[in-house]
Amino acid sequence: MITNHKTRIAVAEPSFIIRSGIIATLKRFTSLSIEVYEISEMENLELLLMTHTPDLLIVNPVCMDSHTLSLFKRNPRLQAIKYIALQTSVINISLLKHFDQIISIMHNVEQIREIVYKLIISSDNEDTQALSEREKDIITSIAEGLTNKEIAYKLHISINTVMTHRKNISKKLNIHSTAGLILYAVANHLIETN
């Protein structure tokens, strides 16, 4: 997510002041390209999740019970979302245990940035783990500047197989350019940079 596309973040908080403050904080992360979705009414949350599927959902846990959260996490379309509890008051700890992380209104910008970045990086690592070893070999070869024909020769496979792997990689990572794949390889330490 940090690599080369916008990170989609939904902020679900009924309080305009708190929601605006979190969004303003997120927009201060200059090294991260983000698209923010605001949800002021919890009735609209499920619709937004199904139509826009954010990478991260920052939500007030008082407004979302653990049953609803576990339903979202079991939905195949929503499983990749990382859920962050936005703690705005003293709260029962049992409400927080199903979230991937917790942000408190007492956190400063650096603390919030660190929490958000950790989740984004963990999502990138999950993307890398979702790739097969052969797909990683293909990305590494692309980053080395090899053509499809050279990759086929190097890996002892057909050119059609190389092209199929490239299509699958593009689908999995949502990266559709050679430059994007090279950036991905560098960001995920698939190749060494000097």
Q: Extract the runs of DSSP E, i.e. beta strands, from the chain.
A: 7-12, 34-39, 56-59, 82-87, 101-104
User: How far, in Å, CA of 148 to CA of 155, rounded?
Assistant: 11
Domain 7-127 has CATH 3.40.50.2300: yes
The answer to pTM > 0.85 is no
Q: Is the dihedral of CA 133, 138, 139, 141 positive or negative?
A: positive
CA dist 142 and 131 (Å) reads 15
User: Is residue 179 very low, low, confident or very high in pLDDT (cuts 50, 70, 90)?
Assistant: confident
Topology classification of domain 131-187: Arc Repressor Mutant, subunit A (1.10.10)
Overall size of the chain counted in residues: 194
- List the domain boundaries for the chain: 7-127, 131-187
Sequence-distant (≥ 6) Cβ neighbours of residue 175 within 8 angstroms:
3, 4, 5, 169, 181, 184
Q: Tens digits of per-residue pLDDT, 75-133?
A: 877 878 899 999 998 887 777 888 889 999 899 998 898 888 888 776 655 555 578 88
